Amino acid sequence: MKFKLIAEYFDRLEKISSRIQLTSLLSDLFKNTDREVIDKVVYLIQGRLWPDFTGMPEIGMGEKFLIKAVAMAYGNKEEEVEKLYKSVGDLGEVAYSLRSKVKGVSILSFVGGSQEAGELEVTEVYNELVKIATSTGEGSRDIKIRIFAGLIKKATPIEAKYLVRFVEGRLRLGIGDATVLDALAITYGGSADYRPIVERAYNLRADLGDIARIIATEGIEKLKNISPTPGIPIRPMLAERLPDPEEIMEKMNGKALVDYKYDGERAQIHKSGDKVTIFSRRMENITDQYIDVTEYVKQSVKGDNFIVEGEIVPVDPESGEMRPFQELMHRRRKNNIAEAIKEYPVNLFLFDLMLFNGEDYTTKPLPERRAKLEEALTSNDKIYIASHIIADNVDKLKNYFYQAISEGAEGVMVKSIGPDSIYQAGSRGWLWIKLKRDYQSEMADTVDLVVVGAFYGKGKRGGKFSSLLMAAYNPEKDVFETVCKVASGFSDQELDELQRKINELRREQKHPRVVSDMIPDVWVSPTLVAEVIGAEITISPLHTCCRNEKGGLSIRFPRFIRWRDDKSPEDATTNQEIMEMYSKQLKKIEEKPVDENI
């Protein structure tokens, strides 16, 4: 399969902003894709060479390298390329126009091959990009530049444009996972009705390229019977929230398992043979940060292969008491992780089991999963099963909640133990309900919102980005709908960081997956997630979240709390959740006795 075809599709996809059209054009591309390379094509569409969880390196070529490569490929001076880049603002376009000026095959002959432009194969492009990504150490800089220059020399102008954008990490086609899933269902199943099958498979094995390969080469039937595999993350099951213990017990039909809700980092732990891998809430490979945890698991959980889940919590080295989750940040520093491991010890509290010795447990009810977990684990002072009780009345739940808080937990997780209490990978449902400590605010909980635009400040903050246009996620439409403008809560350091973050992600036009009536000073690709708290949710004509004829919903007096790097934009609070919070708030107001307001 020729890479040219893909580049041409990229060019068409980029110009589309309707999700329906994107899906249909993507499906068209899949129809024209050789089945053997479908996984590579899916990764390329996502702007990557492999899923994040593999922990494989990124391409690692910055702007400077790229300018050198473009100059080398087309016989220009670096200064010329740089100047053009400054005036055009897009290195892909620069490569396109410089490549267009290189005439005829004659100029290509000095490339060292007889290959005509437009003859690049997808596999060849992919393999060359892999070489670039995996070359490390001394001299790798020059190797990367040379390989890339060689590649774009053989490319047509349009191929060069998208190769440059890909390597630069600016391939912003606006295609989310949901759109890829729809397009796969349509292409290989025959209609969008097959989406639930494709989605379920993806939830259990979160590798889109792999899912595409299976459906394309082995068919939709094969996907129906897919089970989790050690080494490929499962998309995490998520909890709904409710502030009222009575309502929670009602939802649970009067009886539930109540776990401490630990405030640390979620860890999905896979073991296969001797190899233990840990994935984060975002399914990134965080094994290196928690080598100590991998050892605890090897020593204490029996089983040849399994997938279990728990929360890693920092603890005081002396007393063993739980410490604030922020201490885990020290584990992120790349150099001297060994010291951080020693200085900031952790405990692991396991709360679920999804696979055991090859058997899929995601379809079994929670009591069965927990029984297996307890059977497999020999607890010690590092690794435990999450503290829990079975509550069969509201008072038991309340008392356990207060006990959890007094011991440093964030609240409790109330979990269904009914016959249908399966592990719902990748979805937020009422089988798990979180009850958290109250915040000093009318809003019962914080929300996680996605930055979609930024505004320059005035006065002291003049010339600097100082407020952000924030959006909730609408999973049905796979778009981001605005809910508020956040201008407070940033520390000076966070404000400085903000400038860099925004500059990296700013774009000329609104991202196709953003729905907004407000026009910020700069648009931002929906990537960054921030935790925000506000005073209340109100109806507003300015925002697009949950919009109907009365207006949209917006958060009043929003305040930035922290970045949520562990969340991807699709993990942000959804429009549906904002609507639920709004309804709850209305109910609360109605329930207030009249004289309380006097």
**Residues labelled as active-site residues:** 261
CA gap 331, 340 in Å, rounded: 6
Q: Which residues bind ligand ATP (CB under 6 A)?
A: 238-239, 259, 261-262, 266, 281, 311, 351, 386, 413, 434, 448, 571
Beta bridge partners, 556, equal 536
Q: DSSP letters of 428-488?
A: EEEEEEEEEPPPSSSSSS-EEEEEEEEEEB-GGGBTSEEEEEEEEEETTTTEEEEEEEE-B
Beta-strand pair 529-533/559-563: antiparallel
Q: Find the Cα–Cα–Cα–Cα dihedral 37, 41, 47, 48, rounded to 10°.
A: -20
Element spanning 272, H or E: strand 265-272
CA gap 522, 544 in Å, rounded: 18
CA 263 to each of CA 283, 311, 376, 412: distance values in angstroms, whole numbers, following the listed order? 18, 8, 24, 10
Instruction: Report the amino acid identity of residue 568.
Output: S
As a three-state string, the secondary structure of 120-170 is CEHHHHHHHHHHHHHCCCCCHHHHHHHHHHHHHHHCCHHHHHHHHHHHHCC
Beta bridge partners, 312, equal 265, 348
From the CB of 222, what's the least distance to ligand ATP, in Å? 30
Environment class of residue 427 by beta-carbon count within 10 Å: exposed (0-12), middle (13-18) or buried (19+)? middle
Q: Which of 349, 350, 376, 372 is nearest to 362 (CA)?
A: 372
CA gap 330, 481 in Å, rounded: 34
Give the three-class secondary structure for 42.
Answer: helix
List the structure tokens of 315: 């603890």
CA gap 313, 587 in Å, rounded: 36
Distance of CA 440 to the CA centre of its chain: 29
Geometric angle at alpha carbon 144, from 141 and 149, rounded to 5°: 125
Strands (E), 273-342: 275-279, 305-314
- Could you say which DSSP state residue 247 is in? H
CA gap 158, 587 in Å, rounded: 56
> Nearest residue to ligand ATP, using CB?
266
From the CB of 566, what's the least distance to ligand ATP, in Å? 7
Q: Find the Cα–Cα–Cα–Cα dihedral 493, 494, 495, 496, rounded to 10°.
A: 50
Q: Which of 278, 271, 320 is nearest to 299 (CA)?
A: 271
